[in-house]
Structure formats: structure tokens, C-alpha cells
Structure 1
Amino acid sequence: MSLLPIQKLYLLAGYVDKINKLKDVLTNIAGAIGGLVIIYGGIKFALAFQKLDQQGEHQAVFTIVAGAVLLGLTAIVGLFGV
């Protein structure tokens, strides 16, 4: 009777391992997307700056901030191991 809880715990550990692998894949993808969004925002900012378009500059800054937030959330999840 005492082996039953250990077997359940072992089976749950197998599921948790799969979930952790999925989390790692998703955080890596989110980090890559965040980096690409930052690069895209930088290009948008450079083009808007060249055209002297203030509204385009503001939108580009928001794009850069959105990418930084996505990259930061990825780093926080990786740091705390949530």
C-alpha cells in the first residue's frame, strides 16, 4: 500500500517534466520574438527619424518597448524558473 503514493508521484513527475520542456520551448520562442520586435522597432524608428515623422517615431518607440517587455518577461520566467 505504501508504493501507491510513490508511483503516483513518479507519474506526476513525468507530466511535470513534459510541461517544463514545453515552457522552455515557449519562453525561447517568446524571447526570439521579443528580440525581433526590438529590431523591427529600431528600423521603424530610423525610417521615421529620416522622414522627420514624429508620430512614426512614437509608434516605433512603443514597438521597441513592447519587444523589451516581451524579452523582459522571458528573462523573468527563466530567472525564477516558474
Structure 2
Amino acid sequence: MGTNMVLAAASYTHAITSLKSVLLTLGSAIGAVMLVYGGIKFAMAFRQMDQQGEHQAVYSVVAGGVLVGLSALVTALT
């Protein structure tokens, strides 16, 4: 009787663990895309000497870095 309860609990946690890994992978992929996009945006704004564009690009790079960093941190902790 006790092993049936453990197996049922394991099946629930397996689904949650799978969802967590999918969300972390998706978050780090989106963060990587934001890093690349921000870098390209910064280079284009720098070339045109557009200071406001540079600031927006830096925000994109920082947001992408935060996403990648948080995903890596949560992955390392779990």
C-alpha cells in the first residue's frame, strides 16, 4: 500500500519536473536571443550615433542576461 502511494507521488512530481525543465530551457533560449538581438541593436545604434537606441539596446542585453542567469541559477539549485 505504501509503495503505491510513493509511485503515485513520483508520477505527479515527474510531470512538474518536466514542466520546470521545459520552462527553464525556454527561458534561457529567449534570454540568449535577447542577448544577440540587443548586441546587434547596440551595434547599429552605435554606428548611427543614436544614443537613445544604445540605451534601449543595453536594456535588451541586460534583460537577456538576467533571463539566462536566472535560468542557470534555478537549474543549478534544483
TM-score > 0.5 by shorter chain:
yes
Structure 2 unmatched runs, 5+:
none
* Residues 1:54 and 2:51 are matched in the alignment: yes
Give the deviation of 1:9 after TM superposition. Answer: 2.4
User: Match of 2:73, as an amino acid?
Assistant: I
Structure having the higher Rg: 1
In the alignment, which residue of structure 2 is the partner of 1:7? 4
Structure 1 unmatched runs, 5+:
none
* Residues 1:66 and 2:54 are matched in the alignment: no
Give the deviation of 1:31 after TM superposition. Answer: 0.6
User: Match of 1:19, as an amino acid?
Assistant: I
In the alignment, which residue of structure 2 is the partner of 1:17? 14
TM-score (ref. length: structure 2): 0.94
Partner SS, residue 29 of structure 2: helix
* Residues 1:39 and 2:30 are matched in the alignment: no
Across the aligned residues of Structure 1 and Structure 2, the Cα RMSD in angstroms comes to 0.9
User: Match of 2:14, as an amino acid?
Assistant: D
Partner SS, residue 19 of structure 2: helix
TM-score (ref. length: structure 1): 0.89
